Structure 1
Amino acid sequence: MGMLHNILKPAVAAASITFLVSSQGFADEARLSLLMDQLRVAEVNESQRLAADIQLEWEKSGSASADLLLSRGNKAMEAGQVQSAIEHFTALTDHAPDFAEGWVSRANAFAHAEMFGPALADLEVALELNPQHFEAIAGLGAILEVIERPTDAYEAYQLVTPIHPHHPAVTEALKRLEPIVMGQKL
């Protein structure tokens, strides 16, 4: 019995840890789902807090090394070191290809470097991983606007409104583009 107990003890511990990690993942998914539901119906003043909480959830990779790469990339962006940020985010997307936030972050860095093709490609991957990522959709709209495709930009921005009805940049962009896309009212 002693030998069997010694073999089972680590196996039970490993199973318990796996269950706890899985449970935490389910709890995070449930929290994110609740926050997304609340955002859809929130008033303007509450929507910004909810969007920030959602962003914090999206930034949870579940990997210490992925979190470190995301942090280093974000710090490089804040310091205006776009090429360094691209390198960190590239390492992140290589390390954690299923982590949508890595693709969104690298797309943002590519866009700052005016590398719009790679930025659009990264946003495509990000949106395959997380179709509700309103910042990725807004980024898509912003890039389409910069490359002078106002109708496509307007359509992208419109996709944000059912998810985040009070997104300030999207609200402003829709107002700005509506006369261009829909024509001036007489």
Structure 2
Amino acid sequence: MLLDTLDELFERLRVATTPTEIEALQNGIWQLWLSTGNRRLDKHLEAGMRAMAAGDYSHAIADFTVLIEECPSYAEGWNKRATAHYLRGEYRASIRDIQQTLRLEPRHFGALSGWATMIRMLGDDAGALRVLLRLQRICRYWPGLQAQLHDLRNRLGEAES
């Protein structure tokens, strides 16, 4: 799995059908995403993730901000900060960081899933449907995706496609 490139893993994820296979491919992708290639920046990433796990979202945001400022092209830095903002209830800040994550890595399934959750919580079912349709193009059999799409289409009065 480690020798696979990100593009190869995403191609395999696009056609994966079983939860076990999907999870293994996602884990391989996360392994690649969770390395900046710079030991010092990896330490900020690790410290931010530890702070987030401990519920210290301010510290996590500070670490992820350093990462973003020093390596603005690193999509996972933006995604991690988006998660910390979300956990702190700062949805607008989270959505801004998710949008930057997706500019850098349009296939970021974690960002897409989180974005759909937030915009649905904010009452935008049509927007959530659009985001989940993007996620479907990456992984049609994402666990729970078809049920969410069905529910949103029913709420919006749309026919299944």
TM-score > 0.5, shorter chain as reference:
yes
| Residue type at the aligned position of 2:36 | S
Q: State TM-score, norm by structure 2.
A: 0.89
Q: Which structure has the greater CA radius of gyration?
A: 1
1:58 matches 2:33: yes
User: In structure 2, the residue corresponding to 1:132 is in which secondary structure?
Assistant: coil
Shift in Å at residue 172 of structure 1? 4.4
* Residue number among 51, 59, 62 corresponding to 1:84 in the alignment: 59
1:127 aligned to which of 75, 83, 102: 102
Q: How does 1:26-175 map to 2 (within 5 A)?
A: 31-44=5-18, 45-175=20-150
1:53-88 residue CA offsets vs partner (Å, 9 max, x unmatched): 111111121111221111111111111111211111
Q: For structure 2, which runs of at least 5 residues remain unmatched after alignment?
A: none
Hey, which bits of structure 1, 4+ residues long, moved more than 6 A? none
Identity %: 28
Q: Sort the Cα spacing of 1:163 and 1:183 in 2 relative to 1 into closer, same or farther, 3 A.
A: closer
Measure how far apart 1:127 and its partner are: 0.9
Structure 1 distance, partners of 2:17, 2:143, is 13
Greater RCO (CA < 8 Å, at least 6 residues apart): 2
**How far did 1:143 drift?**
1.2
SS in 2 for 1:159: helix
TM superposition score normalised by structure 1: 0.78
Q: What secondary structure, in the 3-state scheme, does the structure 2 residue paired with 1:161 have? A: helix
Cα contact 1:138–1:170 (8 A) shared by 2 = no
Structure 1 residues not aligned, in runs of 5+:
1-26
**Relative to 1, partners in 2 of residues 1:155 and 1:82: Cα closer, same or farther, differing over 3 Å?**
same
Alignment coverage as a number of residue pairs: 158
- What RMSD over aligned residues (CA atoms) do the two structures have, in Å? 2.1
